[in-house]
A and B are shown apart, each in its own frame.
Chain A
């Protein structure tokens, strides 16, 4: 028989983008330890709905740890205390009975709160639009082995491509920098033949957009890597730095 948990939750409530917002305290009882963190919030929301209160708004989609929708800082840690997992894959067995859990949205100027725990991450979309693609028309998905690529490069590209754009790197960064996100996108494409050609201009354009969005500057403290649910390495940031160097000076346009 599974253990049941009684918990005290301290959750950030904010009615809308312009509301000031504040923490509110909720109590949940008999939480099954096999539940995921989001299921625990579902239980609370059901209770709130029955009481005629506004449920807590939080982002979620696949609940399998691959979509990048769920996002919250739990007890001061992005996606909670487990390494290499998203919030939906954090299970209640990692909490103690009668524990107080503080739940906050991502905090960054570039990620304004829309409601409660939901933040606007469209800044990431605009960074991708600025250069996170290959401009040549490549047609529909080619056969996987049409262009053979050395194994090491494929692995590096794939490791970087694991980024799900959840924004935990920004949330965990002491300076709210998006360098791990941009580093992952740049590293992902640079290791593949068709992405390689536009490497420098892509790095420059994406960084320019990143700066415009109001993200901070990387100070090499590597909190992003520790918080990343996909364990993306900060060596992708080194790669971005390398691509960026002289990028504006050497590009033709």
Chain B
């Protein structure tokens, strides 16, 4: 136990924790997207999916608590790393022009990460810890559409939708560096595979960012067509 603690107090040990928790979060985010896209199939399909998830409780609480813990570890350990990074160069350069091709996604990792964290809190308040039926769930025809109605009404507000899309673009950027970084930090990388890993990483980032953004975009377009 003492050995394990010592091991994970080192720079690489911490990075490997961030990479591993990051991978778990990627799995979650992929599953979450797959479920969310059911909204495109209409209220019945989506609400039955929500009901199916609720049916998994109380076992689901355990999984959710674990997921929350993974999130917190990922954020806390990254915070420790970033603080050391800032302290490791007390006096900066007067002129600094990178010789390599460090990507924008890599440069703004802590920034996109912070936005995602803020978004996460808002998102839980917005859709999770809020009644899934009632006033907010009633659509134009006067009927209560449950969670479907809640999400639909939220995304009918262009401001609300824009905020979600910005957050999803951040997640896309975060993942496009994250997956590549994960491979390197856990030591899978080899020059032979660099291009392939980078491509997969970027594609995955775009796919997740675009996939999630599709939902508010779909609601906005649907509203425009109906008007």
Query: Which A residues are closer than 8 A to B by beta carbons?
Result: 10, 23, 73, 75-78, 81, 83, 102, 104, 107-110, 172, 174-177, 204, 207-208, 210-211, 214-223, 225-227, 233-235, 237-249
Contacts and interface: CB of A to CB of B under 8 A. Distances in A.
Given A177-B88, A226-B98, A233-B191, A219 B106 contact: yes
A167 to B, nearest CB: 13
Contacts of A215: 11, 88
A216 B185 contact: no
Given A235-B190, A245-B187, A249-B3, A107 B92 contact: yes
Contact of B85 (A175, A211, A241, A249): A175
Count chain B CB atoms within 10 A of each CB in A104, A107, A219, A246 and give the residue with the most.
A219
Given A219-B106, A220-B177, A248-B7, A107 B91 contact: yes
Interface of B: 3-4, 6-7, 10-16, 81, 84-85, 87-103, 106-107, 109, 177, 180-181, 183-191
B3 A223 contact: no
Contacts, number: 149
Closest 4 A/B residue pairs (Cβ):
A242-B187, A226-B100, A216-B88, A76-B97
Contacts of B177: 220
Contacts of B3: 248-249
A207 B6 CA distance: 12
A244 B13 contact: yes
A23 B94 contact: yes
Contacts of B187: 238-243, 245
Contacts of B89: 107-109, 175-176, 216
Nearest to B7: A248
Given A109-B89, A241-B16, A75 B97 contact: yes
B123 to A, nearest CB: 26
Contacts of A175: 84-85, 88-89
A107 to B, nearest CB: 5
Given A109-B90, A207-B10, A216 B188 contact: no
A220 B88 contact: no
B87 A249 contact: no
Contact of B15 (A81, A108, A217): A217
A223 B7 contact: no
A76 B107 CA distance: 17
A107 B11 contact: no
Nearest to A216: B88
B99 A226 contact: yes
Given A216-B84, A216-B85, A247-B7, A238 B190 contact: yes
Contacts of B106: 219-221
A73 B97 CA distance: 10
Contacts of B103: 221
A83 B16 CA distance: 31
12 contacts: A175-B88, A216-B84, A216-B89, A219-B109, A220-B184, A223-B98, A234-B189, A241-B184, A244-B12, A245-B16, A246-B7, A248-B4
A227 B100 contact: yes
Contact of A104 (B81, B84, B93): B93
A75 B95 contact: yes
A166 to B, nearest CB: 14
Contacts of B100: 172, 221-223, 225-227
A83 B100 CA distance: 9
B88 A110 contact: yes
B96 to A, nearest CB: 5
A223 B89 CA distance: 15
